[in-house]
A and B are shown apart, each in its own frame.
Chain A
Amino acid sequence: MLTVLKAGAVLFVAFLNLFLGIAVLLRNTKKPVNRIFAVLAFVFFVWSSSLFFYEFPLIINSLFWIKITYTMVASYISLVLLFSFVFPIFSSRRLRLLGIVTGVAYVTSSIWLIFFTKFWVVDVVVDAMRGKQTILGPLYNLWIGLAWLITFWAVINFFLKSRLVTGTQRIQMHYFWIGFVLFGIFVNIPDVIIPAIWNDTRYFFISAITNLFFSATMAYTILKHRFMDVRLVVARSIAYFLLIITLGFIYAAGLFLISSLFTKEVTTTSDLIASTALALLIAFTFQPVRTFWEKATNKIFYKNHYDTGEILYALTQTMASSLELSALIQNALAILREHLHISQAVVYVLDEGKIYLRESSPKKSSNFHLEKQDLEKLHKEYKLLVFEELAEDNIKEIFRQHQIAIFLPLYVKQQTVGFLVLGEKSSGNIYYEQDLMVLQIFAPEFAIALQNAQSYEEIKDFNKTLQEEIKKATLDLQQANTKLKELDQLKDEFISIASHELRSPASVAKNYLWMVLNDKNKLPTETASQLEHSYGAVERLITLINDMLDVSRIETGQIKINPTSFNLNQLVLKIKDEMSLKAQTKQIEIAVSSKNNYTVKADRDRVFQILTNLVDNAIKFTSKGGKVNINTQKMKEKIAILVSDTGIGIKDKDMPRLFTKFGRLNTSLSSVPEIPGTGLGLYISKKLTELMGGSLRVTSVFGKGSVFIVLLPGS
Chain B
Amino acid sequence: MDKKQKILLIDDDTDIQKLYKLILTDAGFIVDIASDGAGGLTKIQSGGYDLVLLDLMMPNVDGLQFLNTIKNNPPRAKNGPIVILTNMSLGSNIVRQAMGLGIESFLVKADLSPGQLVEKVKNFLNPTESKEEKTTGKKD
Return chain B residues, CB-CB under 8 Å to A697: none
Taking the complex as formed, is A359 at the interface, i.e. its CB lies under 8 A from any CB of chain B? Answer: no
Taking the complex as formed, is B140 at the interface, i.e. its CB lies under 8 A from any CB of chain A? Answer: yes
Which of B31-39, B67-75, B110-118 forms part of the interface with chain A? B110-118
Q: Once the chains are docked, how many angstroms separate the CA of A604 from the CA of B90?
A: 14
Q: Once the chains are docked, how many angstroms separate the CA of A529 from the CA of B26?
A: 25
Q: Once the chains are docked, how many angstroms separate the CA of A525 from the CA of B130?
A: 41
Taking the complex as formed, is B87 at the interface, i.e. its CB lies under 8 A from any CB of chain A? Answer: yes
Mark interface residues in A418-440 (1 if CB within 8 Å of B CB, else 0). 00000000000000000000000
Return chain B residues, CB-CB under 8 Å to A518: 114-115
Mark interface residues in B104-136 (1 if CB within 8 Å of A CB, else 0). 000011111111010000000000000011011
Q: Once the chains are docked, how many angstroms separate the CA of A545 from the CA of B19?
A: 21
Q: Once the chains are docked, how many angstroms separate the CA of A339 from the CA of B82?
A: 97
Are A550 and B140 closer than 8 Å at their CB atoms? yes
Are A499 and B112 closer than 8 Å at their CB atoms? no
Return chain A residues, CB-CB under 8 Å to B98: none
Taking the complex as formed, is A596 at the interface, i.e. its CB lies under 8 A from any CB of chain B? Answer: no
Taking the complex as formed, is B97 at the interface, i.e. its CB lies under 8 A from any CB of chain A? Answer: no
- Residue in A496, A511, A558 whose beta carbon sits within 8 Å of that of B88 in the complex: A496
Taking the complex as formed, is A475 at the interface, i.e. its CB lies under 8 A from any CB of chain B? Answer: no
Are A560 and B91 closer than 8 Å at their CB atoms? yes
Q: Once the chains are docked, how many angstroms separate the CA of A457 from the CA of B116?
A: 80
Chain B binding surface SS class: loop
Return chain B residues, CB-CB under 8 Å to A545: 110
- Residue in B19, B90, B140 whose beta carbon sits within 8 Å of that of A512 in the complex: B19
Are A515 and B114 closer than 8 Å at their CB atoms? yes
Return chain A residues, CB-CB under 8 Å to B110: 503-504, 506-507, 510, 542, 545-546
Taking the complex as formed, is B2 at the interface, i.e. its CB lies under 8 A from any CB of chain A? Answer: no
Are B136 and A605 closer than 8 Å at their CB atoms? yes
Q: Which of B79-113 contact A (CB under 8 A)?
A: 86-92, 108-113
Return chain B residues, CB-CB under 8 Å to A560: 91
Are A496 and B16 closer than 8 Å at their CB atoms? no
What is the size category of the interface that chain B forms with chain A? 20 to 34
How many Å from the CB of A479 to the closest CB on chain B? 24
Return chain B residues, CB-CB under 8 Å to A559: 91
- Residue in A503, A505, A506, A514 whose beta carbon sits within 8 Å of that of B113 in the complex: A514
Are A511 and B89 closer than 8 Å at their CB atoms? no
Taking the complex as formed, is A609 at the interface, i.e. its CB lies under 8 A from any CB of chain B? Answer: yes
Are B15 and A500 closer than 8 Å at their CB atoms? no
Are A496 and B89 closer than 8 Å at their CB atoms? yes
Return chain A residues, CB-CB under 8 Å to B13: 504, 508
Return chain A residues, CB-CB under 8 Å to B86: 500
Are B112 and A507 closer than 8 Å at their CB atoms? yes
Taking the complex as formed, is A395 at the interface, i.e. its CB lies under 8 A from any CB of chain B? Answer: no
- Residue in A503, A504, A514, A550 whose beta carbon sits within 8 Å of that of B115 in the complex: A514
Please list the residues of chain A having a beta carbon within 8 angstroms of any beta carbon in chain B.
Answer: 496, 499-500, 503-508, 510-512, 514-515, 518, 542, 545-546, 549-550, 553, 558-560, 570, 574, 604-605, 608-609
Give 14 A-B contacts (CB < 8 Å), ordered by A residue: A496-B92, A500-B87, A503-B108, A504-B16, A504-B109, A507-B16, A511-B114, A546-B110, A558-B91, A570-B133, A605-B90, A605-B139, A609-B138, A609-B139
Contacts A496-B88, A550-B140 known; 16 new A-B pairs at CB < 8 A? A507-B109, A507-B110, A508-B16, A508-B19, A511-B19, A511-B112, A514-B113, A514-B115, A518-B115, A546-B110, A546-B139, A546-B140, A549-B89, A553-B91, A605-B90, A605-B136
